[in-house]
Structure 1
Amino acid sequence: MEKGKIANKESQSPLSFLKNLLIARWRSLLLLLIGVYLPLQVFEILTAKIWENEAGFPWDVPILLAVHSTANPQLDFLAVTLATIGLPWTAIPILGAIAIILLRQKRWRSLTYLLTASLGSVIINRTAKELMHRVRPQLWHSIAPEYSFSFPSAHAMTSITLVAILLFFTWASSWRLLVLLLGSLYIIAIAWCRIYLGVHFPSDILAGWMVALGWTIGVSLIIKPYRTQAKSLDSDRLKDETTLLPEERKLITED
């Protein structure tokens, strides 16, 4: 009896609670560290450096010139095509179609994640561009010039956001590896075309990747779209999508 009381007392101690919490939530904490904190820390470093010196980093120009040295008519056509495909406006029909499907299936949690992640990415990009006012590279005459501000790259942010949304929605299915592979190639191809066309510094691309990655993963940790099952349209999944999780209901009750 005494042993039971001692064990119960220990389980209620602050250190024991903290240990149990860390054990139970270590995956979320690791994802928070790698997927949110580190990308946003890199973005903060890039932003601070460019704020102090608009010229950016010593590796920006050499990378631009190295990529430009490979220019030829075939790559020109490919780069312009990829730039068009990677436009933020091009992602709207794709995300819109997914949103309609989620709306018809009453998958409110997934729909909320899609809208929050995509709209938030646009707002972050526009705000950062207006605050930083970084001009685009002017090393050569681009065949597809851009006239807005450069930092961070909207194309880079759009590619990461789109692939992250698709990956979260396919995480519990057999499509996950295919989305990850094709999505990674898409992200790299979009980044290459922006550098090839001379309309972005590499640091613009890196900053766009980091802030979009931190934002989409951070939002996923709050909304938890992966807590739903994507394999079937049974009542259990619909119930998950249309009701609050226990911890969410508890927070509302406490407030």
Structure 2
Amino acid sequence: MKTVWSRLLNRLSFLTAELVVVLVVFLGAFAGFFYLTRVVFVEHSVELDTWAFRQMDALRGALPGLTTAVQVVTFFASAPFLVGSAVLLPAGLAWRGRKREAQEVFLALAGASLLNQALKTHFHRLRPESALLQQFGLSFPSGHAMIGMALYGCLAWLLWRHGRHPAWAALLLLWAVLIGLTRIYLHVHYATDVLAGFAAGLGWLILLRMALRLWWREAQVIDREG
């Protein structure tokens, strides 16, 4: 009996710790996004954006050949790549019997894409005039940063949950951050666009995860009662 209670208490303490961490991350992402909107649209500050462009310009001057590699990296959150990922990744997961994971990846990508467009339309910030590549659309928040964080963050979570592979999960998150940095390097987004994209992507992932947990739990209850 004591063993059962100890296991139950350990399980509850773990869940409580998990929920606290998730809540802290979500609130941090929300606060960060709100702060960036104040900096950009209320205070009209360009200090961070100017500083970030200056650092990237210095890097490009020191390593002229780096631009080609940057263009390769930035492709992995481009529209063609994301559309392909939204089809192929869920299809592959479903084929392997991971239907819930397939649903989670698809909704992470689709929801982040729709939310990103809604936020861009609302804030209506124009792209930098100094862009090294021609890019269409609006600037805040960065789609590469936001949708990339949603995709690679979701994959990182799935790896951690099923395989307990913290190293691979960390690498996926670092990859998402690197993709965001390429947008500043190419001057197609301001640093504040990219940071806001990271924050919005994390926030969306957490909301999606919580919503899916509630939905799947309710479905299990209905199945048992049925």
| The structure with more radius of gyration | 1
Measured after TM superposition, the shift of residue 135 of structure 1 is: 1.2
1:58 match: 47
Give the corresponding residue for 2:93: 102
Within 2, Cα distance between the matches of 1:91 and 1:102? Answer: 16
Runs of 4+ in 1 over 6 A off after TM superposition: 251-254
For residue 35 of structure 2, what is the aligned residue in structure 1?
45
Q: Residues of 2 paired with 1:115 and 1:85: CA distance?
A: 16
Structure-2 residue corresponding to 1:180: 170
CA distance in 2, matches of 1:134, 1:99: 33
Q: Which runs of 5+ in 1 are unaligned?
A: 1-21, 226-242
Equivalenced residues, count: 213
Quick check: 1:127 aligned with 2:118?
A: yes
Are 1:196 and 2:185 matched, yes or no?
A: yes
For 2:60 and 2:128, how far apart are their aligned partners in 1?
A: 17
After superposition, the CA RMSD in angstroms is 3.0
1:76 equivalenced with 2:67 (yes/no) = yes
SS in 2 for 1:70: helix
How much identity, in percent, do the aligned residues show?
A: 23
| 1:100-249 equivalent positions in 2, closer than 5 A | 100-138=91-129, 140=130, 142-171=131-160, 172-173=162-163, 175-181=165-171, 183-224=172-213, 244-245=216-217, 248-249=219-220
State the TM-score, normalized to the length of structure 1.
Answer: 0.72
Shift of 1:158: 2.2
* Partner secondary structure for residue 122 of structure 2: helix
- Residue 67 of structure 1: how far off its partner (Å): 1.3
Distance 1:220 1:78, change over 3 A: same
Task: Report which stretch shifted further, 93-102 or 36-45.
Answer: 93-102
Q: Structure 2: how far apart are the matches of 1:77 and 1:128?
A: 30
More helix by share: 2
Q: Which residue of 1 aligns with 2:9?
A: none
1:16-31 alignment runs, 5 A limit? 23=13, 25-31=15-21
- Amino acid of the structure 2 residue aligned with 1:108: K
* Alpha carbons of structure 1 residues 74 and 109: separation in structure 2 relative to 1, 3 Å: same
State the structure with bigger RCO (CA 8 A, min sep 6), 1 or 2.
1
Q: Distance in 2 between matches of 1:99 and 1:56?
A: 41
1:165 Cα shift?
Answer: 1.7
Q: Deviations over 1:69-125 (max 9, x none)?
A: 222430221222222233132133234222112322443322221222111100111
Question: Any conservation in 2 of the 1:88–1:158 contact (CA below 8 Å)?
Answer: no
Pairwise CA distance, 1:176:
4.0
Q: Residue 27 and residue 75 in structure 1: after superposition, are their counterparts in 2 closer, same or farther (change >3 A)? A: same
Contact in 2 for aligned 1:80/1:144 (Cα 8 Å): no
Q: Please, what TM-score do these two structures have when normalized by structure 2?
A: 0.80
Q: Between 113-122 and 97-106, report the one with greater CA deviation.
A: 97-106
**161-170 or 99-108, which deviates more:** 99-108
Deviation digits for residues 131-169 of structure 1, max 9, x if unmatched? 11111223x3x3313232110001101221121121122
Within 1, Cα distance between the matches of 2:103 and 2:132?
Answer: 39
For structure 2, the 5+ residue unaligned runs are: 1-11
* Cα distance in 2 for residues equivalent to 1:244 and 1:202: 38
Partner of 2:24: 34
Tell me how far 1:61 sits from its aligned partner: 0.8
User: Could you tell me how far 1:196 is from its partner in structure 2?
Assistant: 1.1
